[in-house]
Structure formats: structure tokens, C-alpha cells
Amino acid sequence: MTVRLTAEEQAIASGRDGSGTAIAMRIVAEAARLMGAERLIPIASAHIDGALYHGDSGTLFAERLVKGGARVAIRSTLNVGALDLTGCSQIRLADPQRSMARRMMEAYRALGCETTWTCAPYQVGHRPAFGTDVAWGESNAVVFCNSILGARTNRYGDFLDIACAITGQAPDYGLHKPENRLPSITFDVAALPRSFLATEIAWPVLGSLYGREIGNVVGLVTGIDADPGEDALKAFGAAAASSGAVGLFHIAGVTPEARLNAGEFHEAASRCRIVVTPAMVAEARARLSTVERPTAIDAVAIGSPHLSLEEFTRLERLLAGRQLAVPLYACTGRHVLSVLDRNGRRKPLENAGIVIVADTCVVVTPIMPDIKGVLMTNSGKFAHYAPANTGYSVLYGSLAECVESAVAGRPIFMEDAA
């Protein structure tokens, strides 16, 4: 399909605004052709996933854009990088990779991106308005933006994300189109105990199950009595985007489009129905672990997506001043770290054995010891990616179970203590 570029877009692609912007426009136009889009549309913002170092080519590409005079045309926040520039945690990345990773992060700053370095930009105040078109990268950020905020984005990968940010344009296809945002399947959780749905652990487990069952289609979750809160919804979306290819979900009575279009959505989703049973949930939870009840654990990691300030408050309450037997890595953004520092909350956490990780996370860059150990987590996303990315086996549990296990140095599960 031929993409119809405007005279302005053609002039940019031909180099009117410099070689860097021309490269970006040509990338966006070619992506639109490959995706079957007939035109480009203006976007309000971007979240850039491409600044995470995976090899020298990514650094050299970003530096070429800088050399060509490119700058982002819209608000553009940055996802995690490969280094903790705050100095909270020690990265086991040696030169030349370390230097190239730093050069990459610096290049994206030079392009005009906001140095947020978080996978949860919506918790830094980057919350595009309902119905606006944006170009976001990073799977959890994309699904949150679409589902919870009601803005419209596809999953923009490296380095299409920065190209869209420089041009302020994106291909008009996929979830930018209202007709593609309708649900086509119902994911009914009404048969599950209300007590389970009220727990923190329900949402990563249900998200993992949802992603495997739904794949990349748009679904409508029914049977939820009340809004579980933003942290629960981000955990659901992150797990769903990791186990499937979910870019958008709706929850009846909770998410904005489902509230606005209740009748139409229920009718559209009624053609196919998945009734979730307690047995399905038990199996989904078991699948998040790659080991069964080991005698010891080597580390705990939480914060994928990055921990909010409210989640740190829950962590402090659960820890209750105790000392940890194994390190607990708490990944977060520098916006949260600044509050912890300002309020004198960081040092007591670190003195107890918590390793705060900012700007990055333990699954995308080497921070934890290089051993074949057991990692416990409450994150559905960590559970999905950690075995392949870190070499650790994974044990899944609630936040409370993770804290108790870190204190004991061995797995502690609430049902065992009951």
C-alpha cells in the first residue's frame, strides 16, 4: 500500500529540516507502508524504549540523529537505560559496553528527551489525555496508556519510537483506529472468590492468565466489583503484555472506554467468552514459578513495573524495621527516589538490606550476582523474563511473602503460616 505523504512530510523526508529529521521521517513513512497505513497522523507525546543499550548499533544510530540536528518535536519521556545514573546500585557492566551505554543515554538526552528513566512514565505525570494519539514504547507503558488512560498507541519498538517523536507523526493503523479498540472476547472472573480479587497477588496472576488466553486481541474483563487501584491495574497490564502481546484491555465499569461504551462493548465481546475458574488461576500462579519450594532463596526482586511511592509505603510497613537475610532489589524511578531521599526514608531501607535500583532494573542489566540462584518476586513481568535474562530460577509470591522470605532467607508462604 502506498503511503500518502503531505507536501510538508515529503519536504522533511527530503532533508529540508536536516539529515537527522529526514532519517526519522523516512523511517516512519516506511513503517507506515509495511503496516498498511495510508497516511501519518500527528501525535501528542512519546515514551521512548530505544535508549536501553543492546549493542553498539543502537548508540551509533542515536548519535547519528544528534549529529544530523534532530530534536524531538513532542514531549518524550525515556524508559529505563542500562545504567543507574543515580549511583544507588552497582551495575556489573564493563567497558566498552558501559561507555557505549552511557553514550547512548546521553544521545537521547541531547535529542531533547526527558531523562525520566522509568518504565512507569504515567507515575511521573506523563498522562496523555483520553482519546489522544501518542507513540509509546515499552510493553507495560503501552498497555497502561491504552487501557487505563484511554489514549491511543500501538506498541512502538526500538527505534521507530524515537523516529515518531522527532517527526511528531505516527502511522495511522492498529489501535489508533477506534474500530480496532472494540473488544472481541469476554474474560469473565465472576466465579472467583471476592476475597481473592481483593488481594494484591490476584492481579499479576490474572494478567498472566489473560495474556496467555487472549494473545493480541482486545478483551473485556467482567466480574470485577470495584476499581482495584492503579498499582493493581499496572501489575495486571504488565503481566498480560509479557505473557501475551496485549496492547489494550478493557475492564467493565473500571477502565474509561468500557465505562463510556458499556452497552456496545458488552455486545461486541459477547461472541466469545472465557469463564475463569479457581483451577485456572491456580495453574496460572504455578506457571509463574520455575522451581517448587526450594529450601533457600538467593535474592528478591520487586518493581517491574517500577515501584510507586505507595508501593514503597507498603514495603516499609511489611518490613517493620527488620533486617533482611538476602538482598531485596527494589526497582523504581528517580522521581520516587527523590521523595524517599527528601523524607529520610531511603537510608533505613538500605540499612535493612534493601538495594534500591533507579533508572534501570535487574532484568535488563547485570546488577545481581552472577550465580545460578533462586530469585523470588511478586512481579508477573519479572517472573516471565528473569529466567532467560538473569539465569536465576524464579519463585513467585505476594509482596508480603517476598518480604517474609527475604527476612528468613528461605521461602515463606502465607498458607504455610496459617
Side-chain-side CA neighbours of 35 within 13 Å: the count stands at: 21
199 pLDDT above the threshold of 70: yes
Q: Which three cell numbers stand for residue 361?
A: 532494573
Q: Which residue has the cell 522527532?
A: 166
What 3-state DSSP class applies to 161? helix
**What pLDDT was estimated at residue 414?**
79
Rounded mean pLDDT of 159-179?
98
CA 100 to chain centre: 24
Separation of alpha carbons 122 and 201, rounded Å: 22
What is the phi/psi pair of residue 217, to 5°? -85, 170
For residue 288, what is its C-alpha cell?
A: 509463574
Q: For the whole model, what pTM was predicted?
A: 0.95
Q: State yes or no: pLDDT of 88 exceeds 70.
A: yes
Give the span between the Cα atoms of 47 and 287, in whole angstroms: 31
Q: How many helices (H) and strands (E) does the chain have?
A: 18, 14
- Residue 46, classed as helix, strand or coil, is strand
Backbone angles phi, psi at 75, to 5 degrees: -60, 130
What pLDDT sits at residue 293? 85
Residues 6+ apart with CB under 8 A from 49: 79, 137, 138, 141, 156, 157, 158, 161
- What separation in angstroms does the CA of 87 have from each of 84, 165, 201, 245? 6, 29, 31, 34
* pLDDT, tens only, 247-257: 999 999 999 99
Q: Average pLDDT for residues 383-392, to the nearest whole number?
A: 96
Neighbours of 75 (CB within 10 A): 18
Residue 313 backbone phi and psi in degrees, to 5 = -60, -40
pLDDT digits (tens, 9 = 90+) for 90-107: 999 999 999 999 999 999
Q: Say how far apart CA 169 and CA 376 lie, in whole Å.
A: 41
Respond yes or no on whether the N-terminal peptide bond of residue 159 is cis (omega within 30° of 0). yes
Name the grid cell of 9: 512530510
Note the pLDDT tens digit of each residue in 261-278: 999 999 999 999 999 999
Q: Which domains does the chain have, with CATH numbers?
A: 7-173 (3.30.499.10), 182-287 (no CATH), 299-411 (3.30.499.10)
Q: What is the pLDDT of residue 417?
A: 46
- Report which of 235, 13, 212 is spatially closest to residue 144, judged by C-alpha positions: 235
Contacts of 239 (CB under 8 A, 6+ apart): 203, 204, 205, 206, 207, 208, 210, 211, 379, 380, 381, 384
Q: 139 with 243: CB under 8 angstroms? A: no
Query: What pLDDT score was predicted for residue 418?
Result: 37
pLDDT of residue 2: 83
> What's the whole-number mean pLDDT along residues 182-210?
96
Q: Is 391 exposed, middle or buried (0-12, 13-18, 19+ CB in 10 A)?
A: middle
Q: How much is the pLDDT for 128?
A: 98
pLDDT tier, 416 (very low <50, low <70, confident <90, very high otherwise): low
Amino acid letter, 206? L
Which residues, including other chains, have CB under 8 Å from residue 227's CB and lie 6 or more apart? 254
171-195 mean pLDDT: 97
pLDDT(1) > 80: no
Question: Looking at residue 167, what is its pLDDT?
Answer: 98
C-alpha cell of 205? 496472576
